[in-house]
A and B are shown apart, each in its own frame.
Chain A
Amino acid sequence: MFQHTALRYTALILLAAGAFAQAVTAGYFGLEVLTEILLLAMLVLALDMVAGFGGMVSLCHGALMGLGAYAYAILTTKAGIAPPVAMAGAIAITGVAAWVIGAIGARSHGIYFIMATLAFGQMAYSYVFEAPLFGGDDGMGGIPRLDLTLIGLDLNDSRSFALFCLLLLAASYGAAVLILRSGLGRSLIGVMHNEQRMRALGLTVWRIKADVFGLSGMIAGLAGALAAQHVMYISPGPLAWTVSGEALVVVILGGLGTLVGPMIGAAAFVVLKHEVSNVTSYWHLVVGVLLIAVVMSRANGLFGWIEARWGARLERRLSDLTRKSDAEEVPTDA
């Protein structure tokens, strides 16, 4: 089961505090970078749910996010549907698409599952690229942002928009944790450990996989609907498989199956991208070297490495502290 350790709580608080401080103080460029981080974090969170807890390594999560973005764009600009409803619609559509992909892919494993998801992603990419409804190569513009002036939030202001994304990322994280701790999440983890046994116990394995893949797709769809609002324009680019590949790299760099790690990975990845590309255009090379270092170190990503080194120590410190305070209470009782 997914568990919160002292180290994970600490990392979460630091992440949230850092993002909040950045949202409040940063200038325009800083806010753009922050929003980019938050949306990538949402995508890798969705991906880690299926890859890290169900062994379903997906190469279509970028395309799912793109689907969410296009769904929102079409529902608002072409169908004239109000943005809040369109957002819910985009999430639902992406969820259903992901559920179907999960259901079809459920019977394949490892490299075959990866290829199946890649195929679905590429199909979506080429369809969007060619279809006139989606604006083809040119993409679609004029995508409206959600109107939250009722609660005093003007989302056309980048600061408010970044805060809004932070809020929804926190909600997505909470949802992911609840899902992984539910009966469904438990069963998914059981399937990852031993699919044959789960089936022999009477579990309909493909349903579990499809359901969690669908839920993960909903989070990716939300990320997409937000991304469309962020740049107010959408083109087929984000559906390309390289985006999914990048998300996978971030999950692995951050720490597969830790939820927290991939979000840290997203922050590191985006910051690194901007910093390094200022200095040299070979920034992919830097990421490549990092990825090789992480894979060769056999640590579970950056966060996995931190957990292995300091997780137990922090836990011990804390239990020492609580024991000490317990001991201090004894005399007052007597």
Chain B
Amino acid sequence: MLETRNLDKSFGAVHVTRDVSLKLERGERRVILGPNGAGKTTLFNLLVGELTPDSGAVLLAGEDVTALPVAKRARRGLSRSYQKNTLFDGLTVEENLGLAAAVHTGSATRLWGDSLATPEVREIVEEVAEQVRLMPYLHAKVSEVSYGVRRQLEVGVALATRPLVLLMDEPTSGVGPEMAKGFHELLNDLPRDLTLLIIEHDMDLAFDVADTITVLNYGEVVFDGLPDAARGSKLLKEIYLGSWEDA
């Protein structure tokens, strides 16, 4: 479904992505682990096209999309959420979801009629609001809801484009352990045919949702395999030290 071949990216002298090759099957749920600065977010930026790789290729559903701009890749079914909330702050939760759904249904560019009032958009908004537990907040402005709710919306907006592949950059970053747990239940309830690539900091939580695990360190893939194998890996112990002991 989503594949990278020998991706490389440097910022000046800093080599942030080193020869990264990944392959996600349809419906696979993969978690990316790695310490701060390992290049996880950079990899996402390369995948969606917000950054251009120095070399290597990105394939979506078997087609090379490396040369495609962000919007075109998105329209082919690649969607992402951000580590730092990237929402429409002055608008309501419903409008946030609606804007995304309207792009997907094609009503975002039409000159006649409200894009958010179409039955298709309303249906998506309602469904996504259920999926990410936002029903009670639909009419609240983003600026009026709590940080945790905004994190849910961050994922909701990405989901509302009805993607084939959803990339989530630390969806639980900054929320308490209780809420993070709830978040992972929510992720587990998503449709099984949706391919998920999730950056996660917390090991325990990662094992909650992962079919497969990839570990990045200094921009390099140092582990790629099943969660059980990851649990036993010595290398990971070294990278993760403290948090590993509790796992």
Q: Flag whether B80 is at the interface (Cβ < 8 A).
A: yes
Is A186 a contact of B86 with CB atoms below 8 Å? no
Q: Flag whether B87 is at the interface (Cβ < 8 A).
A: yes
Q: Flag whether A109 is at the interface (Cβ < 8 A).
A: no
The segment out of A35-43, A199-207, A261-269, A323-331 that lies at the interface is: A199-207
Q: Given that A1-B95, A193-B88 are contacting pairs, would A199 and B70 also be in contact in the complex, using a CB cutoff of 8 Å? A: yes
Question: Could you tell me the distance between the alpha carbons of A255 and B161 in the complex, rounded to whole angstroms?
Answer: 34
The segment out of A176-184, A230-238, A244-252 that lies at the interface is: A176-184
Q: Flag whether A280 is at the interface (Cβ < 8 A).
A: no
Is B74 a contact of A200 with CB atoms below 8 Å? yes
Query: A207 is contacted by which of B98, B109, B111 (Cβ under 8 Å)?
Result: B109
CB-CB < 8 A to B70: which residues of A? Answer: 199-200
CB-CB < 8 A to B71: which residues of A? Answer: 199-205
Question: Could you tell me the distance between the alpha carbons of A186 and B48 in the complex, rounded to whole angstroms?
Answer: 24
Is A201 a contact of B99 with CB atoms below 8 Å? yes
A200 to chain B, nearest CB (A): 6
Question: Could you tell me the distance between the alpha carbons of A181 and B117 in the complex, rounded to whole angstroms?
Answer: 10
Q: Given that A182-B111, A183-B109, A197-B88 are contacting pairs, would A202 and B104 also be in contact in the complex, using a CB cutoff of 8 Å? A: yes
A80-91 interface code vs B (CB 8 A; 1 in, 0 out) = 000000000000
CB-CB < 8 A to B95: which residues of A? Answer: 1, 186
Most buried by B among A181, A194, A208: A194
Q: Report the interface size for chain A: residues with CB under 8 A from the other chain.
A: 26
Question: Could you tell me the distance between the alpha carbons of A202 and B110 in the complex, rounded to whole angstroms?
Answer: 15
CB-CB < 8 A to A179: which residues of B? Answer: 111
Question: Could you tell me the distance between the alpha carbons of A196 and B102 in the complex, rounded to whole angstroms?
Answer: 16
Q: Flag whether B140 is at the interface (Cβ < 8 A).
A: no
Q: Flag whether A311 is at the interface (Cβ < 8 A).
A: no
CB-CB < 8 A to A182: which residues of B? Answer: 110-115
Most buried by B among A189, A205, A207: A189
Q: Flag whether A76 is at the interface (Cβ < 8 A).
A: no
CB-CB < 8 A to A215: which residues of B? Answer: 111
Interface residue range, chain B: 35 or more
Q: Flag whether A136 is at the interface (Cβ < 8 A).
A: no
Q: Given that A202-B103, A203-B71 are contacting pairs, would A197 and B110 also be in contact in the complex, using a CB cutoff of 8 Å? A: no
Q: Flag whether B37 is at the interface (Cβ < 8 A).
A: no
A223 to chain B, nearest CB (A): 21
A194 to chain B, nearest CB (A): 5
Is B90 a contact of A187 with CB atoms below 8 Å? no
B129 to chain A, nearest CB (A): 17
Query: B88 is contacted by which of A190, A199, A204 (Cβ under 8 Å)?
Result: A190
Q: Given that A183-B108, A184-B110 are contacting pairs, would A202 and B88 also be in contact in the complex, using a CB cutoff of 8 Å? A: no
Is A183 a contact of B113 with CB atoms below 8 Å? yes
Is B48 a contact of A187 with CB atoms below 8 Å? no
CB-CB < 8 A to B86: which residues of A? Answer: 194, 196-197, 200
Is B111 a contact of A187 with CB atoms below 8 Å? no
CB-CB < 8 A to A204: which residues of B? Answer: 71, 109
Q: Flag whether B107 is at the interface (Cβ < 8 A).
A: yes
Q: Flag whether A294 is at the interface (Cβ < 8 A).
A: no
Q: Can you give 19 contacting A-B residue pairs, CB < 8 Å?
A: A1-B114, A182-B110, A182-B112, A183-B108, A183-B110, A186-B98, A186-B108, A187-B99, A187-B115, A194-B87, A197-B82, A197-B88, A197-B157, A198-B99, A200-B50, A200-B86, A201-B104, A203-B71, A205-B71
Q: A187-B103, A190-B99, A201-B104 are in contact. List 7 more A-B contacts (CB 8 A).
A: A179-B111, A183-B110, A186-B95, A190-B91, A201-B103, A201-B161, A202-B161
Enumerate chain A interface residues (CB-CB to B < 8 A).
1, 179, 181-184, 186-187, 189-190, 193-194, 196-205, 207-208, 211, 215
